[in-house]
Structure 1
Amino acid sequence: MAAQVLSLLREVSRLEAPLEELRALLSVLQAVPLSELREQVAEMRLGPLFSLLNQNHREQTTLCVSILERLLQAMEPVQVARNLGADLERGLTHPDDSVKILTLSQVGRIVENSDAITEILNHSDLLKQIVYCIGGENLSVVKAAIKSLSRISLTRAGLEAVFESNLLDDLKRVMTASDIVRYRVHELIVEISSVSPESLRFCVTSGLIAQLLRELAAEDVLLRATCIEMVTSLAHTHHGRQYLAQEGVIDQISNILVGADSDPFSSFYLPGFVKFFGNLATVDSPQQICERYPVFVEKVFDMAESQDPTMIGVSVDTIGILGSNAEGKQVLQKTGTRFEHLLTRIGHQAKNASTELKIRCLDAISSLLYLPPEQQTDDLLRMAESWFSSLSQNSLELFRGISNQPFPELHCAALKVFTAIANQPWAQKLMFQSPGFVEYVLDRSVEHDKASKDAKYELVKALANSKSIAEIFGNPNYLRLRSYLSEGPYYVKPVSMTAVEGAE
């Protein structure tokens, strides 16, 4: 079969319009195992196929792309990089996006291979065309180009190729195409910067990080909103946070929050700025962040009282993030009655808001109320019980009502709240004293889909594994929980068949 491929390739190279031969070649290729092709691919001349791509013939282009896709798959990335660099470069300037996608898929193979990548680092024209693909309209092409440049920049040699050559000028040039393209380059730079302190140094020296940070203070509020998302990504790494702190960027963001009250357009960027500090609090000390930037906590509380569902959602998410660990819980507790009022507000939204916001409220409540066994001090348990009481006049019935609604997402989110408190003695007593609650937990017929069955199983597991459950629920119920646990989430009780005398 491989010999037939060689024969057809030779025939294709001799003809000007070899449509029939290309169809036959594709048909044969699909039947030849890759292992057999790999043995013969070194003898195959692919130049004619790349040449046929340059003719303005749609079907011919489609056939050549499919054929090359199969043949190049049989070649080692080093071979592709070493022998077909010029063809790849031309492929990236082709007007047909399918050719660009084919080419970038090969570039992707090359940059993932430590031996092959060195072959293209000095191929400046090919790298230049990859950069210009970032400015394209086809998102598949754009994403593949960004991914390749990001991968190239993982090594020092790659960083030097991108940032210490004319390629940097190409990057800056392509950024001027439009705001959208500029954002794409910013995203690429942030992604590269996040890899290591050395990567960040290269990006800082290029001037591109400074350009991104300048746009944080731009008059264009939509530009601010986009830039803060990228700065938040940079702050996910320790070296990124250090840089932002040293450059005064975190203080700058805090000052913008302070001035947001007098800005009629602040609603466009305020959610992103609050999310920035919320993310900082998860990776640094929540107490330090909240004490150093009190305007952040103030804005979170203000947004919860807003009539804008977007603002409420961001506030609720941030509260959930802040209260996800013991230190954050204590920070919130120190705000006293104001936080109690906020909890009542969240409980109200969990019952009355849109489905999406209800789920976000339930997720935040789960995060706030959960206490791992090792953190269950008397103070924290009392605090969790107090918070639960603040959510509604009868919080247990509130969540039970939500869990009975015929919407799987809401049902699971409510079960998640019960799971969060299931290992806390005060909650177990509430559950046991609520008529029918234990039976509801043990009733498998309530759950109809996989997600709900899994969520119920997590609740049963949290209860069954608690040290206090046997004493509070009683031994018979404890044994039923253990039985449920051992049977697994998808157990179906077998139906007994009773023989009827005289039945056929």
Structure 2
Amino acid sequence: MATAGKISTLLDSLSNSNDQIAVLESLNTLLSVTRPQELSQIAPNVSFDVVFDCLSSENEEQVQLACSTLSKFLLACDSSLILRSFQGELINWLSHSKTAVRRLGLDQLSNVVKTNEETLAGYPDVVFQLSQCLADERLEVAQKAGVILASLGKSTPGLSVLFSDPLKKCLNQVMMQSDPIRFRVYKMIIDMSCMSTVAMEKCAESGILRQLVGEMQRDDILVQLNCLEMLSDLAQEEHGLAYLDKQGIVRRFEDMMSELQTNPLANFLLPGLMKFFGGLARFHPKEVCGKFNKFTHTVFENVDGGDHTLQGVAIDTVGFIGSTVEGKLALEKLGSSMDNCLQKFGNIIRNSMSELRTRTLQAVTSLVMLPVESQTTELLKLTERWFLRLCPKPFEVIWNITRQPFIDIRHDCYRLLQALALQPWGQKLMNETAGFHEFMLDRSTESSREGKEAKYEIIKTLAVSPTIIEVFGRPFYVRIMEYCNQGAFYVRAQADVAFEEG
């Protein structure tokens, strides 16, 4: 019997069966082994209404099986067809008493918006019910609903339906239920605002974004902490940063940095404040590092602090600021503060626990990374001086770590070596280190896929460098090119066997 016939037979037997669970299991198995292309041809010609009915069962196992069966069936249907044909069912599923059914509805809508987010905008009743899911008792349901709703911000029709009067009223009613639920709506609004200036303007016009900014005035440290985290995300986008500056929130955060000494609870806000100003410095490093002295002082102070959480954030922040050319120049103007910070970085790399060493290596990589197109004489001297400031013989320290059996930190060292391989002074350090040539060309030093790929990135960087022959000489260049052309996973023994058999 053809697959379509088998599916129809099982569906026909389901409503009258004394063991619906067994039938659903058979149907589920059959759908699992049917090729997607074949199932997409069968789906439009078969009615699964009898499976829909199983969702109202009180038997949890039966509901789970029905959800699994419908998920496979609907996956084979065109996304626009799902909304057009099952609009009523989707609305019912989103408000269903069982979590599995609500997840089923959300999964279908998630597939729809991945294909085309504008499609959902044509069904405001579905969007209305989806908005209600933000108040769901299950966080996983609420979060997924928020992600789907935020995706509406990618299109003009999506923004129009979400901020229509009925939907705005619905969101306001949802927000009134509790603080946690209100912040779920804020999270959705922030995610949407980050997408574009147009989306952010719509969010501001709705009043919800301004309401979030206003929450910072509440005398509740946990509320402020949540607000700060979300507004920091918005500050990562240039249009978001401009909005926050216009609202006076940047000045408010600067004042909060000054209040840390007198308000012990304010220390809970410090990681978020550093993240916020670090994001600000990404776009305006000169202004931030020159104007917000309290911020730079706090960051450098915590690089060597006793609180590992704050220390990690401070390390990340320095690396984040120094990831751009403008940021490098701004940090350099801080003089001895930056020099002391680099020495602390070197001490952490040599002596601290694994996580801090990893974050510091990543920060140093950002600081010394300098693409060829940005390599002026001034900047090359800067990155070289910063690297040498870390500790005595910093290249030997990094190279020694690459030969230790700790995979994660070794890979971070490889990424730092790749940054050095871009620059003539870095290549000279490599060339002057005894055994480095042999180490780089020896494929046996790495056994994992990730390790082979990380090492190969250094090889590729050297291969395309305009200074490799000048620094290393032609014989090494020839061997590097051979390694590069053979790829990351070349095994000479296998190649020789294949050649002999041929």
TM-score by length of 1: 0.87
Q: Which residue of 1 aligns with 2:60?
A: 58
How many angstroms apart in 2 are the aligned matches of 1:390 and 1:73? 57
Does residue 336 (structure 1) correspond to residue 339 (structure 2)? The answer is: no
Q: Deviation at 1:37?
A: 5.8
Which one-letter code corresponds to 2:183 in the other structure? Y
Q: Which residue of 2 aligns with 1:67?
A: 69
Query: Residues 36 and 191 (structure 1 numbering): CA distance in 2 closer, same or farther, change over 3 Å?
Result: same
Which one-letter code corresponds to 1:134 in the other structure? L
* Percent identity over paired residues: 33
Please give the per-residue CA displacement for 1:121-171, whole angstroms capped at 9, x wherever unaligned: 2x2xx4333222222344442333123222334444433332223332332
Q: Deviation at 1:279?
A: 1.6
Does residue 433 (structure 1) correspond to residue 432 (structure 2)? The answer is: yes
Q: Which residue of 1 aligns with 2:83?
A: 81
Greater Cα offset, 44-53 or 256-265: 44-53
> What are the within-5 Å matches in structure 2 for residues 361-400 of structure 1?
361-400=360-399
Which one-letter code corresponds to 2:353 in the other structure? S
Q: Deviation at 1:189?
A: 0.6
Q: Which residue of 2 aligns with 1:277?
A: 277
Q: Indicate conservation of the 8 Å contact 1:313/1:360, yes or no.
A: yes
Q: Which residue of 1 aligns with 2:302?
A: 303
How many angstroms apart in 2 are the aligned matches of 1:492 and 1:13? 59
Q: Which residue of 2 aligns with 1:102?
A: 104
Query: Residues 132 and 394 (structure 1 numbering): CA distance in 2 closer, same or farther, change over 3 Å?
Result: same
How many angstroms apart in 1 are the aligned matches of 2:340 and 2:230? 33
Q: Deviation at 1:206?
A: 2.2
> What are the within-5 Å matches in structure 2 for residues 150-169 of structure 1?
150-169=150-169
Does residue 494 (structure 1) correspond to residue 493 (structure 2)? The answer is: yes
> What are the within-5 Å matches in structure 2 for residues 192-207 of structure 1?
192-207=192-207
Greater Cα offset, 101-110 or 35-44: 35-44
Q: Indicate conservation of the 8 Å contact 1:81/1:119, yes or no.
A: no
Query: Residues 60 and 311 (structure 1 numbering): CA distance in 2 closer, same or farther, change over 3 Å?
Result: closer
Q: Which residue of 2 aligns with 1:458?
A: 457
Query: Residues 313 and 380 (structure 1 numbering): CA distance in 2 closer, same or farther, change over 3 Å?
Result: same
How many angstroms apart in 2 are the aligned matches of 1:32 and 1:430? 59
How many angstroms apart in 2 are the aligned matches of 1:65 and 1:49? 9
Which one-letter code corresponds to 1:54 in the other structure? S
Query: Residues 58 and 452 (structure 1 numbering): CA distance in 2 closer, same or farther, change over 3 Å?
Result: closer
Q: Indicate conservation of the 8 Å contact 1:136/1:142, yes or no.
A: yes
Please give the per-residue CA displacement for 1:21-70, whole angstroms capped at 9, x wherever unaligned: 55565566556666666566556554444333223122332333233334
Q: Deviation at 1:349?
A: 0.5
SS at match of 1:467: coil
Q: Deviation at 1:440?
A: 2.8
Greater Cα offset, 413-422 or 75-84: 75-84
How many angstroms apart in 1 are the aligned matches of 2:39 and 2:417? 58
Q: Indicate conservation of the 8 Å contact 1:351/1:402, yes or no.
A: no
User: Whose radius of gyration is greater, 1 or 2?
Assistant: 1
Q: Which residue of 1 aligns with 2:500?
A: none
Which one-letter code corresponds to 1:391 in the other structure? L
How many angstroms apart in 2 are the aligned matches of 1:417 and 1:460? 13
How many angstroms apart in 2 are the aligned matches of 1:266 and 1:370? 35
2:93 to 91, 102, 111: 91
Q: Deviation at 1:74?
A: 4.4
How many angstroms apart in 2 are the aligned matches of 1:441 and 1:183? 51
Please give the per-residue CA displacement for 1:318-354, whole angstroms capped at 9, x wherever unaligned: 1112212222112111121221111111100111111
Which one-letter code corresponds to 1:128 in the other structure? F
Q: Deviation at 1:427?
A: 3.2
Q: Deviation at 1:243?
A: 1.4
List gaps (5 residues or longer) in structure 2.
497-502
Q: Which residue of 1 aligns with 2:129?
A: 129
Q: Deviation at 1:238?
A: 3.3
How many angstroms apart in 2 are the aligned matches of 1:443 and 1:36? 49
Q: Which residue of 2 aligns with 1:502?
A: none
Query: Residues 6 and 378 (structure 1 numbering): CA distance in 2 closer, same or farther, change over 3 Å?
Result: closer
Q: Deviation at 1:471?
A: 3.3
Q: Which residue of 1 aligns with 2:290?
A: 291
SS at match of 1:274: helix
List gaps (5 residues or longer) in structure 1.
498-504
Q: What count of residue pairs does the alignment treat as equivalent?
A: 494
Which one-letter code corresponds to 2:83 in the other structure? A
Does residue 235 (structure 1) correspond to residue 238 (structure 2)? The answer is: no
Query: Residues 81 and 470 (structure 1 numbering): CA distance in 2 closer, same or farther, change over 3 Å?
Result: closer
How many angstroms apart in 2 are the aligned matches of 1:28 and 1:475? 62
Query: Residues 495 and 114 (structure 1 numbering): CA distance in 2 closer, same or farther, change over 3 Å?
Result: closer
Q: Which residue of 1 aligns with 2:482?
A: 483
Q: Deviation at 1:212?
A: 1.4
Please give the per-residue CA displacement for 1:284-328, whole angstroms capped at 9, x wherever unaligned: 232133233333222221221312122221111111122122221
Greater Cα offset, 106-115 or 479-488: 106-115
Please give the per-residue CA displacement for 1:222-248, whole angstroms capped at 9, x wherever unaligned: 332322221122223333222112111
